Each structure stands twice: as structure tokens, then as C-alpha cells.
Chains A and B, each alone.
Chain A
């Protein structure tokens, strides 16, 4: 097949809503974009374990601790599904991790905010995972096969995350004045960063158009953000939380909630590395990755020894 025929076949697959599989021919830019998006997504899952890990030893009950541990284990698993999906495009996982350590690969800006009180764990589950779910449900239909299948699996597991977070918030809003204050404080700090998780406004997002054309992304940043806002504002109201946006209003014609202006300077500042926890998150990852080096070496040495023994006895 000539390059032209290959491109034609690729475009036809996309047009018919078929999946692109690892060994299919694909344009370089498609490969690059999918790989960038998958590794960024994988790194987000893994780095996202840190703000939650901060509360494992201080969870208020054994029930809460068990749930938090299960959730963190899921996030680790989601990172691994996504690293596997990314590996199908031929990049070695060591290289992905190296890019993360060197700041060449990004992860979601949301994980550069600190978790200051227990309600933050509620807010992360409800708002951060809630926003992630809206995005991931849409990505189940992404055109790259392995990415799509990882999303299907992840979506099945995520709804527990959001529900446990909302339960924490609801419980605290039913508690003492101090507990209500903590819940509202967490809401105030996590609301806007959660909205930023969907990425820049469509008019400023240079990746969106190409990604939509190739069906890597199936909905625009602003559409997904609006979907999240409409669901979440009502949920906040049900448990008595105030959305920290004085311009928030319901548009009777469009039937959508309209928000005030998002502070994109804050977003870009955190993306560029100046958030409260950027340095801490990466330093932590590098430290434990390097400290695990001897374990990886030891298990490999052990398996070589066992293999040698087995081939010696089979002679």
C-alpha cells in the first residue's frame, strides 16, 4: 500500500467509528497525540494517589480508612491500565517515567493542590473524580482501541469513588458547625480547580480541533465542563453546600447553569510548575522510584537464578 492509500484507509476507519489498533498504520501526529494524552492520563492517576495518601493514617474511622485504601489502589490500577495502553504504541515505560521526572510529560494540574482537612478527601472524590468521570465517559468512545478499552474498565470502577466522596461531604454537612465549615472550606478550594480540569476554553485549546477530527476526543472541553457543572451544582444544593461563585445563575432558556469567569492565570501558573505542591509531587515520585530500584534488581536476579536452576535440572 502507498502512503496515500494507508492514509485513506485510516481516515475511513475513523469515519466509520471503527477503532485504530496498535499495529494499524496511523499518521505520526495521531500517534504522538494519543501517546501524549495517554501518558498524561496515566501519570495523573499515579500522582493522584499522593494527595489522598496524605490522609490514610488520619482517616476518622476504620471504615473510612479501608475505603480510602481501596480507592487509592484503584487509582494505581488505573495508572497501570493506561501505561499498558500507552506501551502498545511502542514507548517503553521507563521512558514515560523519565519524562514525568524531567517535567517533559504533564499530569493533571489538580493534583498540585494540597489536601488540608478530611473534607478534602470528600471533595476530591466528589468533585475531582466527578469531573474525571465526565471526561472518561466521553473517552470510552475514543478512536484508539487500547485507550478506549482502558476507559471502559476505569469508568466501571470510578463511580464508587465519586459516591464515597459525596457521602463524606453529606456526612460532614450533617455534622457539627466545625464539620460543616470544613466541608464548605474544601468546596471553596476545590470547586474552581475542578472546573479547570477540563482544560482551557475551546477558543484557547489548540489541541482540541485536531483531536476531535481524529475522534481522540469526543467532546470539547467547554461542553464537558458544562455537563459537570449542571450535575454538580444540584448535588451541592442537596447537601447544603454553597458554590463559591457569586455570578452563578441558571439560564431558563438554555436550562444550563452559567458560571462566572474562570481564573486561567491560576491554571497556567499551576501547569507551568508554580502550584503549591508541584515540586513535592515529583520529588516524592522520584524518591520512591529510585528507592525501589534494588527491589526490581533483586526480583530479576532471583528469577534468573530460578530459571538457571530449572534449565540445569531439565538437562
Chain B
């Protein structure tokens, strides 16, 4: 069988709807960015799921890893004073 590794490169698809942030919707295969945009449109927006699309080669995405998770996010773990509930408000104070 002669179909070994004949898939086009992988791209990640991000779509924006309304005023929301771009959201990762999935991935597609395409040979270049124009084909990637068209394939993303055909696969992820057949029913008006958005009007702006970003495509990014999957190989260009840097990601955190599960192994490093604890260490990587550690700096935020002990800073509860970043949350509003940390602070004591005087008795009777309103609208704050």
C-alpha cells in the first residue's frame, strides 16, 4: 500500500464569533495558509459559527507540559492577596 505519510501539514484553527476572544476549534490539514483558511471555513463554519478565522501551523505552537505544570504555575499559588476576597472591609462599608 502506498499511502504512507502522505498527509498534508497540520494546522490549528481559531475562530472568533461576535465580540468574544478567538477560540480554538480544532485542527485541519492543508498545504499552505490559503488552503488552511478555506478548509477551516468548510469544516468549522458551515452554519455561521464565526466570521473571523486564524490558522496556525501546529508545529509553531509552544505549549506548557503536564510534567512541568506544578513548577511552572507555582509562582501564582501562594499569592492570595491578588484576589479581592483577601481584604478585610470595615463594617458598614458599601459598594466596594
Contacts and interface: CB of A to CB of B under 8 A. Distances in A.
A299 B46 contact: no
Contacts of B65: 23
Interface string B1-45: 111111110100000000000000011110110010000001100
B4 to A, nearest CB: 6
Interface in B50-95: 63, 65-66
Contacts of B27: 84, 87
B46 A101 contact: no
Contacts of B10: 87
Given A74-B46, A157-B47, A303-B31, A94 B2 contact: no
Interface in A78-100: 80-81, 84, 87, 92-94, 97-98
A25 B66 contact: yes
B26 A84 contact: yes
B1 A98 contact: yes
Contacts of A157: 46-47
Contacts of A74: 46
Interface stretch (A182-190, A209-217, A288-296): A288-296
B43 A94 contact: no
Given A24-B66, A87-B10, A296-B8, A98 B28 contact: no
Contacts of A302: 31-32
A300 B46 contact: no
A220 B63 CA distance: 37
A274 interface: no
Interface residues of A, number: 31
Contacts of A25: 66
A245 interface: no
B6 A296 contact: yes
A114 interface: no
A119 to B, nearest CB: 27
A308 to B, nearest CB: 12
A244 interface: no
B17 to A, nearest CB: 14
A299 B3 CA distance: 16
A297 B7 CA distance: 10
Contacts of A23: 63, 65-66
Given A102-B1, A300-B8, 5 more contacts: A92-B7, A94-B7, A149-B26, A286-B1, A299-B35
